[in-house]
A and B are shown apart, each in its own frame.
Chain A
Amino acid sequence: MFRRLYLLLGFLTLGTVAFGQYRGWSLDSIDQVKNVPKSVRDNPGSYRSVYSAYHHYTGGK
């Protein structure tokens, strides 16, 4: 029973990997925004990234 379940898990995993590769899955998490106005093309400053308030690392050893 366990062996069958494991075989099922294995084939599901391989299938998922194949599907994910074909569909372009990635491990990076990227925010999606819908309906960005077309005016951004002409006026890039009209759009502000959610990351623009990021506090930058100023380190070094």
Chain B
Amino acid sequence: MSATTTVGVIGLGSMGRPMARNLANAGHRVRGFDISERAMASAVADGVSAVPDAASLAAQCELVITMVWDDDALREVLFGATGVTASAPLPQCVVDLSTTSVSVAREAGRLLAERGVAFLDGAIIGGGAPAAKAGTSPIVMAGERATFDRYLSVLARLGTCDYVGAQGLAKVVKIINNLLVGVVTAANAEALSLGVAMGLELRELVELMGQSCGSSRVLQSYMGRFVEEGRYGDGLIGHRLMAKDLRLAADLAEEVDCPATLPRFAEHMYVAFGRALGAERPFPSAYEYFRQVNGGSTDGSRGAIAPESCKHEEARQ
């Protein structure tokens, strides 16, 4: 493969846009497509050439990277009327980095293989938007080893890539990671809420528990930032998407017949958080939910669910 590759990026949101920019900065010719005109305009400013649909993009690219919303969105951009497989010529390889189910990743791999297109299912498992911007995201990839090796020099511009095995396994890793993030965040929010109810300061709790055996990356990063800056972080998904991620985990558990109680329970809790606080509020705001439903608030005063949170939700609807 040549040092300069024509790469297409479908999905130019908080993760896809910096990935496209890093590829362009590395000297690759980058084509971009997003259903949002605003996202397209931003990517163009980063040196990405905009194309009108996924098929037009794929026709110009050897490698196509997808970073889309969910299973349905992935099916649409790959196999829809103006999707990747409607292009001529077809790209040589598709790499999907979306948070999708294992089954749709395997289905995509099979359908693309029938058309002679290689497929890697991948996942970014940490770092969020800041790591995507810095090109340091921890990434896992699955599929044919030879395909991974062939495109590693391009993919390495996006972060540190680990090969994990057969098709679908990268999605398993992603689902497990998100399961841990979702459940640990909510359960720890409840625990911190109890600590505050027992008279502890949130700041000392986060600091001391961040060094203890109860520590976690979500506690240190999201709650640490909340204590310092009053916000949880940049580009975090909301309760609605976290509920979707947990549903993927619970569905996977049912699919492989592995008893798993906490993912389904947490999924329902995130639906409740979304109803109370706003479906698009950053998911670590679960802490505010537990403080408020237990008669306190994040600043230590007592009160019911904050009316402004409910208004926020209504405005979205």
| A and B physically associate | no
* Chain A residues close to B by CB (< 8 Å): none
